Chains A and B, each alone.
Chain A
Amino acid sequence: MKFFNTILSGLMGALLPFAAMANEAYEGDMNPADQWDRLWNTILLDITVIGVIFGVAAIWMMVKYRAKSPDDVGSLPKLTRAQTMAWIFIPCALFLADDLFLSAKGWSLWNVYRQVPEDALEIKVTSYQWYWEFDYGDGIVTEELTVPVGKPVVLRMTSEDVLHSFFIPEYRVKEDVMPGRVTYIWFQPKKAGTTVATCTEFCGTAHGNMYTDVIAVPPDDFTAWRVKAKAEAENES
């Protein structure tokens, strides 16, 4: 048993630098969407490697160990006590190692996702069956989301009727929108252009049609848009 304890603690020890590495990797670059892509690539690599190892092993055994004659039986030896323990603790340690590695990476990016920058532009989102309303706080209320490029934007969301979920695939963010509760997401548009925000919590008949444009414009254009939108809003009221 002592032998396996040594192996186990050795493996756990080897993990710590990994966890530390995972934390370091995210400093400097603060755009969450880019970091998400990087994490995704890491995970994709991780699961592909595991998948290929197990897949190849399965194919190899399935081909190699075909029955030679109908009366053949397999010859898997009975495991000794030490082998049994080894086949429990070593794989468990490896699985745990991978879990811990991924948890550490996932956690550090999660912290980025939850810590809204101080200077973020705040927009209030209210969802209805089946559209969104964006309130910029100065009388501007729109049904499309216009945001400035390069500035963090935080959406503070609540629902007027049923559950919805606000999803901008381009910016890798999503959070449910609920009546009686407030949720938030933040993102930072990198380049100008129009993308889609869409509902991802089943909300009834037109759930599949509940989407809107997210228009990222250069900061100057955004200021101009805001002035114009405000004037229009005042004219109407």
Chain B
Amino acid sequence: MGRFLQALLTAVVLVGIFSTGASAAYMRQPESDIDPSVFKLDEKHLLGQKLDKSYRFSDLEGKEFSLGDLYGKPTILVLSYYTCDGACSVINNDLLDLLVLLEEAENITIGKDFNVLTLSFDENDTLETLTEFKNNLRLPKDIKDHWTFAVAPDFTHLQALTKSLGYKYFWSPQDRTFYHPGAFIFLTPKGRVSRVLYALANEAKDIELAVLESKQGQFKVSEIVNYAASLCYSYNYKEGRYTYNIPLFVAVGSLTLGVITFSGSVVFFGRRRKKRLMEGS
């Protein structure tokens, strides 16, 4: 449990600390107040949950789109809010770092293999706060084009969405900040939840594996290497990340052993018989 809970706690605490900024006067010990498990989505019951494609949001340009428009490839959904000074949004920054690493690794590409969507759950967010927020993130160009930041013109849509996810968040007037789960929610091309990872607990590899998993076995022939590599890992609910699928390696090793014993005995004794017959004649 250790590493994962620690990361979760750190995420929650950091979200709190950074959003309160310098106003240390209000700082209390959030650890003592907040049970981090409140901010853990009930993944076991969430998996397979379908997000209604008719929810409508509007993006940076004020253009409205429905959630279903993003479907067709895996989507990483991040719930956040935009009104915070400077250092805000550990989650988005963490995701950005991971995405940059993914771009460098070149196994999967944002835009081609998956989309990213950040939604605000703060009713007071507007296109202005959004623009400022996005500018502060300083996204590289290729990532910028495929990472949608949006607000909900009709806030009931957002409420319905968070309710169907069981996503709990609340405003703390004391800390002047939102407390909320720092979760990356992975959606399948059909808009079902396939995995939930938490900010600051993961490496780029985990994001890649979660995206591949979201494809649910629908991959092109050219992606077979990625797919095969993804079989070497399986998701560890307890640690909240992907770990090596050890039995698979053991099995491949055993199979190799069997094949070697088989071909070894065939080749060795085949030769010996030939030799014996030649000597005999």
**In-complex A–B contact (CB below 8 Å):** yes
Q: Evaluate contact between A122 and B237: CB separation under 8 angstroms.
A: no
Task: Confirm or deny: B157 has a beta carbon within 8 angstroms of a beta carbon on chain A.
Answer: no
Query: Which residues in window 182-208 of A have CB below 8 A to B?
Result: 182, 184
Number of interface residues of B (CB under 8 A): 7
Q: Evaluate contact between A184 and B237: CB separation under 8 angstroms.
A: no
Query: Which residues in window 35-93 of B have CB below 8 A to A?
Result: 44-45, 47-48, 50
Q: Evaluate contact between B237 and A182: CB separation under 8 angstroms.
A: no
Q: Evaluate contact between A180 and B237: CB separation under 8 angstroms.
A: yes
Interface string of B224-243 (1 = CB under 8 A from A): 00000000000101000000
- Residues of chain A within 8 A (CB-CB) of B235 are 180
- Residues of chain B within 8 A (CB-CB) of A180 are 44, 235, 237
Q: Evaluate contact between A156 and B48: CB separation under 8 angstroms.
A: yes
- Residues of chain A within 8 A (CB-CB) of B50 are 122
Q: Evaluate contact between B48 and A158: CB separation under 8 angstroms.
A: yes
- Residues of chain A within 8 A (CB-CB) of B47 are 158, 181-182
Chain A minimum-CB-distance residue to B236: A180
Chain A minimum-CB-distance residue to B237: A180
- Residues of chain A within 8 A (CB-CB) of B44 are 158, 180
Interface string of A20-41 (1 = CB under 8 A from B): 0000000000000000000000
Complex alpha-carbon distance, A180 and B235, angstroms: 9
Complex alpha-carbon distance, A124 and B47, angstroms: 11
Interface string of A88-125 (1 = CB under 8 A from B): 00000000000000000000000000000000001010
Number of interface residues of A (CB under 8 A): 8
Tell me the number of A-to-B contacts counted with CB atoms below 8 Å.
15
Complex alpha-carbon distance, A74 and B45, angstroms: 70
Listed A/B pairs (12) with beta-carbon separation below 8 Å: A122-B50, A124-B45, A124-B48, A156-B48, A158-B44, A158-B45, A158-B47, A158-B48, A180-B44, A180-B235, A181-B47, A182-B48
CB proximity of B22 to chain A, nearest CB, Å: 44
**5 residue pairs, one from A and one from B, having the closest CB atoms:** A182-B48, A156-B48, A182-B47, A180-B237, A122-B50
Complex alpha-carbon distance, A156 and B44, angstroms: 12
Chain A minimum-CB-distance residue to B193: A182
CB proximity of A93 to chain B, nearest CB, Å: 28
CB proximity of B209 to chain A, nearest CB, Å: 15
Complex alpha-carbon distance, A158 and B47, angstroms: 9
Q: A158-B44, A182-B48 are in contact. List 5 more A-B contacts (CB 8 A).
A: A122-B50, A156-B48, A158-B47, A158-B48, A180-B44
Chain A minimum-CB-distance residue to B49: A156
Most buried by A among B44, B45, B48: B48
Interface string of A107-149 (1 = CB under 8 A from B): 0000000000000001010000000000000000000000000
Chain A minimum-CB-distance residue to B234: A180
Complex alpha-carbon distance, A158 and B237, angstroms: 15
Complex alpha-carbon distance, A124 and B48, angstroms: 9
Complex alpha-carbon distance, A156 and B45, angstroms: 10
- Residues of chain A within 8 A (CB-CB) of B237 are 180
- Residues of chain B within 8 A (CB-CB) of A182 are 47-48
Complex alpha-carbon distance, A184 and B190, angstroms: 14
Complex alpha-carbon distance, A156 and B47, angstroms: 9
Chain A minimum-CB-distance residue to B47: A182
Query: Which residues in window 231-270 of B have CB below 8 A to A?
Result: 235, 237
CB proximity of A230 to chain B, nearest CB, Å: 16
- Residues of chain B within 8 A (CB-CB) of A122 are 50
CB proximity of B162 to chain A, nearest CB, Å: 15
Query: Which residues in window 11-34 of B have CB below 8 A to A?
Result: none
Complex alpha-carbon distance, A124 and B166, angstroms: 15
- Residues of chain B within 8 A (CB-CB) of A181 are 47
Complex alpha-carbon distance, A182 and B235, angstroms: 13
CB proximity of B189 to chain A, nearest CB, Å: 13
CB proximity of A159 to chain B, nearest CB, Å: 10
Complex alpha-carbon distance, A221 and B48, angstroms: 28
Complex alpha-carbon distance, A180 and B245, angstroms: 15
CB proximity of A54 to chain B, nearest CB, Å: 34
Chain B minimum-CB-distance residue to A179: B44
CB proximity of B47 to chain A, nearest CB, Å: 5
CB proximity of B222 to chain A, nearest CB, Å: 23
Complex alpha-carbon distance, A2 and B237, angstroms: 60
Interface string of A202-227 (1 = CB under 8 A from B): 00000000000000000000000000
CB proximity of B132 to chain A, nearest CB, Å: 38
Complex alpha-carbon distance, A180 and B238, angstroms: 11
Complex alpha-carbon distance, A122 and B50, angstroms: 9
